[in-house]
Structure 1
Amino acid sequence: MGTSRFTRPKGSDGESTPNLYVANCGPAVGLSIDEIASVFKKFGEISGVFQADESGARVIVSYSQVASAQTAIKALDGRPCSDLGGRVLHIRYSILRAPPQAKDSVSVCLLDSELGIPGIYLFHDFITTKEEEELLVAVDNRPWKCLSKRRVQHYGYEFLYETRNVNTKHQLGELPLFVSPILTKISSCPHIENAGNIILDQLTVNEYPPGVGLSPHIDTHSTFEGLIFSLSLAGPCIMEFRRYSQGTWLPSSLSNTDMQEQNPEYCSSFVRRSIFLPPRSMLLLSGEARYAWHHYIPHHKVDMVRDNMIIRGSRRVSFTFRKVRAGPCQCEFPQYCDSQK
């Protein structure tokens, strides 16, 4: 949820923005965020709906385009909305205030070529909006497993968070049929070398609520092979990559990767890069990027991307595809490799 520190309403004669401050609307008056989103998305793509303050009776609706906000305010302001229990909505344009930037913030790239990290590829619009909706419906019809801050589903093999590996003796079955179109697209992707020979047998689906990210880590070398595919659905985020100096800090050998976030001075020697992951994009980690760089999703509700504030949606869902390794890893990065220590 957002808070009032991010927003301030403008008068109806103020400059149009893609963000709307909507009063008489919110959980405190019996309306869920999903119900509100379903009404406002009729006027265009929304990047999120957030509580405007602690009252729960006012929300911010953030559109991707100013024109969508203009259409919505003309249709709904001062009029009873039958889809929201007949409530009369009072709407003004809103300016989003960026949260203070950390002193050590890193510039966010939009393209993989800007990162300068060998082995990272980002494919925009890897799937269509319709395919995205079908995938979300499919996983929402399956049972979720609740972790402390997010929900997950595992297919093929269950990922064991305590040991950061899988039990190869306990296969859950084949990957579900609803991901077959994704696997087909991967195998026919002209930008991936030997794409037709890629075999993926493990899938983890993660659902991230607003503000929840992912601690820095390298997927265990001895557990998974050299290609990791991650499809982003529903909401945007940024992903940061860190290359630590040899021997400085190797969380792949530690059980608690949150140590780095809690004690940043413990690992001060590293190089950082960051990239924006829009919905429906596919990220491929291979080679150096997969074996030597930690990847990390900051625990933010709002991301600054080249002076633009990107609000994370009410949820972000990722599909991470991997191939379980049958033998020891023999990569070219032994300092990060548990098989070669």
Structure 2
Amino acid sequence: MGLPRFGRPKTADAELSPNLYVANCGPAVGFSHDTIASVFGTFGEVKGVYAADESGARVIVSFVEESSSQAAFKALDGQPCPELGGRSLHIRYSVLQPTSQVNDSVPVSLTASELNIPGIYLVHDFVSSEEEEVLLQAVDGRPWKGLSKRRVQHYGYEFCYDTRNVNTRHRLGELPPFVSPILQRISLFQDFRDAGNIVLDQLTVNEYPPGVGLSPHIDTHSAFEDLIFSLSLAGPCIMEFRRYLNGDWLPKAASSTDMKVEVPEDGSNFIRSAIYLPPRSMLLLSGEARYAWHHYIPHHKIDTVREKVIRRASRRVSFTFRKVRGGPCNCKFSQFCDSPR
């Protein structure tokens, strides 16, 4: 699915717009679309945050009301924004332009070996359909917290979306007993390297309605340890990955001739890959995949997998298990790491 096309107004009476083009802001400089929406949301209801282009460093912030975009423009244009790392934002009004359908899809892998990104593992049917129903009933019997487009539950420690981190001094308690069989199964699974040596103590449950995805991000290095497990329930989705390039560095696997990663030839600064996550599957991100690749779920209601059209279910629920980090991160991907060296 092509990116929404925005442009500067061409006529004087269209000078103002509920949409703002914001430069020096985006996943490539360390800020997710959810974080940007939270910052701009102080000026009014944000309809959505979109990539302005393929750079990852420019976004479109779309407000419901034009007065909200005016207030944000007046307060933030050319000014350092403390909530976004003190960066000076460069803002223009923008309008949505009609476009023809553009196919910018990337080939979708069905297995982690096809994807060929170091550190990714995928196990189909990690839980049975009966276990899936038990897990869904368990979370539906507990209170949800509403975000702008989805609902969440946190266990162990609450994940703070404004800082993309956890408050280690505020522990919510043990993980709920209904996930104990999942934790035991993870610890015994041989394909998940080092899984038996880590005590997972943080769980985020996300509920995604049809068409709602997740903006590109890397889980904060200093917040969590190496292994991140995500169990998909109720509905399928496509998860895409972006590796933003730094100088002439490329992932080791990029030299593989059968790798389903698009090495850019058009001057863009990232390579892409994608994998299909069916219901009841368990995904593990570790090593390079966890520390250096942005992962995200496109905002689609329909996905295309190997020329087969797959409609998203009435909802998708993910259980993401992590281990809260007790000290600074010492990974080898310093260009993506928030811990000081």
Task: Give 1:136 shift.
Answer: 0.1
Separation in structure 2 between the aligned mates of residue 179 and residue 317 of structure 1, nearest angstrom: 14
Q: Counterpart in 2 of 1:157?
A: 157
Pair 1:184 & 2:184 matched: yes
Contact 1:151 1:206 in 2 (8 A): yes
Q: Counterpart in 2 of 1:302?
A: 302
Unaligned runs of 5+ in 1: 1-99, 249-266
Correspondences of 1:259-270 after superposition (within 5 Å): 268-270=268-270
Task: Give 1:247 shift.
Answer: 7.1
Contact 1:145 1:152 in 2 (8 A): yes
Pair 1:224 & 2:224 matched: yes
Q: Give deviations 1:1-33, integer Å, cap 9, x for gaps.
A: xxxxxxxxxxxxxxxxxxxxxxxxxxxxxxxxx
Task: Give 1:275 shift.
Answer: 0.2
Correspondences of 1:245-324 after superposition (within 5 Å): 245-246=245-246, 268-324=268-324
Letter in 2 for 1:179: V
Contact 1:247 1:335 in 2 (8 A): no
Q: Give deviations 1:14-70, integer Å, cap 9, x for gaps.
A: xxxxxxxxxxxxxxxxxxxxxxxxxxxxxxxxxxxxxxxxxxxxxxxxxxxxxxxxx
Pair 1:120 & 2:120 matched: yes
Task: Give 1:206 shift.
Answer: 0.1
Q: Counterpart in 2 of 1:92?
A: none
Separation in structure 2 between the aligned mates of residue 116 and residue 152 of structure 1, nearest angstrom: 31
Corresponding residue SS for 2:226: coil
Q: Counterpart in 2 of 1:214?
A: 214
With normalisation by structure 2, the TM-score equals 0.64
Task: Give 1:102 shift.
Answer: 3.7
Contact 1:243 1:293 in 2 (8 A): yes
Task: Give 1:270 shift.
Answer: 0.2
Separation in structure 2 between the aligned mates of residue 105 and residue 134 of structure 1, nearest angstrom: 35
Separation in structure 2 between the aligned mates of residue 193 and residue 292 of structure 1, nearest angstrom: 18
Letter in 1 for 2:142: R
Correspondences of 1:1-341 after superposition (within 5 Å): 102-246=102-246, 268-340=268-340
Letter in 2 for 1:133: E
Separation in structure 2 between the aligned mates of residue 156 and residue 309 of structure 1, nearest angstrom: 38
Task: Give 1:101 shift.
Answer: 6.3
Q: Give deviations 1:283-339, integer Å, cap 9, x for gaps.
A: 000000000000010000000001000100000000000000000000010000000
Over aligned residue pairs, what C-alpha RMSD do you find? 1.5
Identity of aligned residues (%): 75
Separation in structure 1 between the aligned mates of residue 190 and residue 116 of structure 2, nearest angstrom: 21
Aligned pair in 2 of structure 1 residues 274, 102: CA closer, same or farther (>3 Å)? farther
Separation in structure 1 between the aligned mates of residue 216 and residue 304 of structure 2, nearest angstrom: 19
Which has the higher Rg, Structure 1 or Structure 2? Answer: 1
Separation in structure 2 between the aligned mates of residue 340 and residue 286 of structure 1, nearest angstrom: 21
Contact 1:222 1:338 in 2 (8 A): yes
Separation in structure 2 between the aligned mates of residue 294 and residue 110 of structure 1, nearest angstrom: 19
Contact 2:291 2:336 in 1 (8 A): yes
Separation in structure 2 between the aligned mates of residue 104 and residue 116 of structure 1, nearest angstrom: 20
Letter in 2 for 1:115: L
Separation in structure 1 between the aligned mates of residue 137 and residue 337 of structure 2, nearest angstrom: 38
Aligned pair in 2 of structure 1 residues 327, 129: CA closer, same or farther (>3 Å)? same
Letter in 1 for 2:231: L
Letter in 1 for 2:114: E
Aligned residues: 224
Contact 1:330 1:340 in 2 (8 A): no
Q: Give deviations 1:121-180, integer Å, cap 9, x for gaps.
A: 000000000000000000000000000100000000000000000000000000000000
Aligned pair in 2 of structure 1 residues 152, 247: CA closer, same or farther (>3 Å)? farther
Q: Counterpart in 1 of 2:55?
A: none
With normalisation by structure 1, the TM-score equals 0.64
Separation in structure 2 between the aligned mates of residue 167 and residue 334 of structure 1, nearest angstrom: 23
Corresponding residue SS for 1:133: helix
Corresponding residue SS for 2:152: strand
Corresponding residue SS for 1:178: helix
Separation in structure 1 between the aligned mates of residue 228 and residue 138 of structure 2, nearest angstrom: 22
Letter in 2 for 1:160: C
Letter in 1 for 2:274: S
Task: Give 1:193 shift.
Answer: 2.4
Separation in structure 2 between the aligned mates of residue 219 and residue 329 of structure 1, nearest angstrom: 12
Letter in 2 for 1:167: N
Task: Give 1:105 shift.
Answer: 1.1
Task: Give 1:198 shift.
Answer: 1.9
Separation in structure 1 between the aligned mates of residue 323 and residue 101 of structure 2, nearest angstrom: 38
Letter in 1 for 2:118: P
Aligned pair in 2 of structure 1 residues 247, 142: CA closer, same or farther (>3 Å)? farther
Q: Give deviations 1:58-83, integer Å, cap 9, x for gaps.
A: xxxxxxxxxxxxxxxxxxxxxxxxxx
Separation in structure 2 between the aligned mates of residue 207 and residue 268 of structure 1, nearest angstrom: 32
Separation in structure 1 between the aligned mates of residue 247 and residue 159 of structure 2, nearest angstrom: 27
